[in-house]
Amino acid sequence: MSQSGSQSENQSENKFDSAHDLQHFLKLAHAQVQSRRKKLEQAKDTHARQIRLLEELIREQIHLPGEKKP
Amino acid sequence: MTTTAPAKILVVQLARLGDIYQTTPALAALRRNYPSTEIHLLTRAKFAGAAPKEQIVNKHWVLNTRDVLAPLVDERPDIDASVKELETLCSQLRDEKFDRIVNLSFSSFSSFFIREIVSANSVVAGYTRFDDGTLSIPDDGSAYFYAQVGPERANRIHLCDLFAHISGVDLQDADWQLSFDAKAHASAVVNSTGARPIVVHIGASDLGKTLSWSKWLQVVKTLADSYEGRIVLVGSHEERAIAERASAVTGQASGAPLNLAGKTTLDELCAIVSKAALVIGGDSAPIHIASLANVPVLNLSLPMVSFWETGPRSKGSRIIRIESEEKISAQEIATEAFAMVNGRVPTLEVVRVPDRMMPYLETRPQPKVFEWEFLKSIYMSEPFPAPPHESFITGVERLIEVNTLAFEQIEALRRIPTNKTASAILDRVDEIMIQIQNLVPELQPLVTWFQVERMRLGPMELSDLINATESIHKQLSTVLEVYGAGSDEGNLEGEGRV
């Protein structure tokens, strides 16, 4: 791994240990994942299911409201 | 309840520590019933230490949330890398071709996860998803959980029993077993001589499930003032700070409490709890560990949790129902603890746990008694209870009218399947039933049962949907007729279950 790659990894690791940063990045990721999932669903792409699974994991992690009960 | 032995079972428990410990009796019962079956367990990596050992589970899988989400912790999240990480686990589990998958997680994520790992021959119990993404609840036990479990509900079936039911097994006393590394020596506490320690857990996964920290400090001080043995504080790393403060109080009898919060592995925690004279705490993992070890628990139950569902099961345990912590003093809690340690009768109005296989003994009047009796008649073939008041009958009469209206729309849809008016009215039936339930809360078990049964239908051909909807309305009418106009005592004495 290059020097810059290693530094980048360390920065990500630090972000993971900071609850505030983690929430921030996961909220950003959630929006992108949701957007991609909707496009895939419109295109009837079977990969939408895998994306949906990731979307649900992020949602659970950052306590975003979903269905009232699953 | 057992059937032909499946070759390979996967039990999925993606909730927290306490849920994994409460899943252990069901896993042990599966092992007892199916000695030759390959039993796999999936938990989150973070809570993997709570999983039972090899005697019960052949293979332990873990979902490492951190590894899945790590590629997303960046200004430019690598979604594909996260998906790949998740799919790798799904693919491995799919390849196992489980005969039976039991999902005891009851979460949205877990339901989507199960959909991704089923193979053609898998029989699923627990939440999963239909192809269109809507929730699928294939088994009655999980439907009961969805409809009737929760602190605001009337349910009195313990989660351990419900987990076993969903897993398709009955529990025996021997199924409560604590497996941990016997070499775990947390400290001299485990091997010390003299009075056995009182273990106190001052934390919980949610602050609403336990006393305030200031109250705990008072309780710990009062215990340490009078107990000759050691007071041991346990908890997670996050609870170290408050445990540190509590350990600073020096009792007149036992000296300073020993603070082990955040300093033990789960195996060490199990070793400590199994040697305790008593465990005191709210709804949290040490309570459930004590249940498995059959160590008495003084459970402080706050309104956020239902002790009926997650309370201690160990013989001789007691539960103090605390509506507000201002209404109970630290001295009262400590006195009750000493009464338990010394084998004396309760000093407070407690719920008693006579044995792991026996129901709780409650002396105080309980809320929602009618609803619980009503639940049992709907789900468990018990006789229907007498109506609690006149307005209940009025509510039933309104439900009968709604039910009749629904039958008319079903007939209209049979004649003309494109009848939009009939379809719209039928859709409104659920809303009207909720309004009636809001006026007569005692009808909640029945209305919720109906809604969940309708939800369980899932996507299907219109003609099949009409037939299935009619069937549920017919089941509803059998209950309504018990209480409706012209009913008599004879109806109430009949067996229930819709």
Record: contact B72-A21, CB cut-off 8 A: no
Q: How far apart are CA B261 and CA B256, in angstroms?
A: 14
Phi and psi at residue B63, to the nearest 5°: -100, 115
Of chain B, the percentage scoring pLDDT greater than 90 comes to: 76
Mean pLDDT confidence for B364-390: 93
Q: In chain B, whose CA is at the least distance from the CA of A44?
A: B132
φ, ψ dihedrals at B480, nearest 5°? -60, -35
Cα–Cα dist B124/B118, whole Å: 8
Task: Check pLDDT > 60 for residue B191.
Answer: no
Q: What is the DSSP letter of B255?
A: B
Whether B490 has a pLDDT exceeding 50, the answer reads no
Q: What is the mean pLDDT of chain B?
A: 91
Per-residue tokens: A22: 């983690």
Q: Output the pLDDT for position A6.
A: 46
CA distance B264 to B271: 10
Least confident stretch, B138-147, B356-365, B442-451, B488-497: B488-497
pLDDT band at B161 (very low <50, low <70, confident <90, very high): very high
Looking up tokens 């669903």 gives: A41
Query: How confident is residue B367, by pLDDT bands cut at 50, 70 and 90?
Result: confident
Residue B262 Ramachandran class (φ > 0 left, ψ -120 to 50 alpha, else beta): left
d(CA B340, CA B347) in angstroms, rounded, equals 10
CA distance linking residue A52 with residue A37, whole number of Å? 6
Q: In this predicted structure, which of A12-26, B260-274, B476-490 has the lowest mean pLDDT?
A: A12-26
Cα–Cα distance, B271 to B450 (Å, whole number) = 46
pTM: 0.92
Which residues fall within 8 angstroms of residue B146, CB to CB, at 6 or more apart?
A: A69, B106, B127, B137, B452
**Distance, C-alpha B365 to centroid of its chain:** 23
Q: Is the pLDDT at B9 greater than 80, yes or no?
A: yes
Query: Which residues, 6+ apart, have CB-to-CB distance to B450 below 8 Å?
Result: B433, B472, B476
Q: What is the model's pLDDT at position A9?
A: 47
Chain B residues inside the 8 Å CB shell of A69: 146
H or E element that contains B454: helix B444-456
pLDDT tens, position by position, B461-473: 999 999 999 999 9
Q: Can you tell me the mean pLDDT for B315-339? A: 95
* Cβ-defined contact of A66 to B108 (cutoff 8 Å): yes
Chain B closest-CA separation from residue A17 CA (Å): 10
Question: Which one of B68-77, B93-102, B203-212, B297-306 scores highest in mean pLDDT?
Answer: B93-102
Is the Cβ pair B79, A54 closer than 8 Å?
yes
Per the listing, tokens 């036990």 go with B141
Partner-chain contact A51 B79, CB within 8 Å: yes
- Name the residue among A57, A70, A69, A2 with its Cα closest to residue A30: A57
Return d(Cα B336, Cα B219) in angstroms, integer.
11
Residue B71 has pLDDT above 90, yes or no: yes
Q: Is B106 an 8 Å CB contact of chain A?
A: yes
Cβ of A9 under 8 Å from any chain B Cβ? no
Whether B146 contacts chain A with CB within 8 A = yes
**Which position has the higher pLDDT, B204 or B124?**
B124
Which parts of chain A have pLDDT scores under 70? 1-17, 19, 64-70
A26 contacts B73? CB cut-off 8 A = yes
- Give per-residue burial for B239-270: e unless 16+ CB within 10 Å, then b: bbebbebbbebebeebeebbbbbbbbebbbbb
B131 has a chain A CB within 8 A of its CB: no
Q: Is residue B300's pLDDT more than 70?
A: yes
Which range (B74-78, B185-189, B299-303) has the least confidence? B185-189
Mean pLDDT check: name the lowest of B29-33, B210-214, B449-453. Answer: B210-214
What is the pLDDT at residue A4?
44
Rounded distance, CA B378 to CA B475, Å?
Answer: 10
Mutate to test the interface with A, among B73, B88, B455 (most CBs of A within 10 A): B73
Residues of B in contact with A16 (CB under 8 A): 66, 70, 73
What's the CA dihedral at B340, B346, B351, B357 to 10 degrees? 50
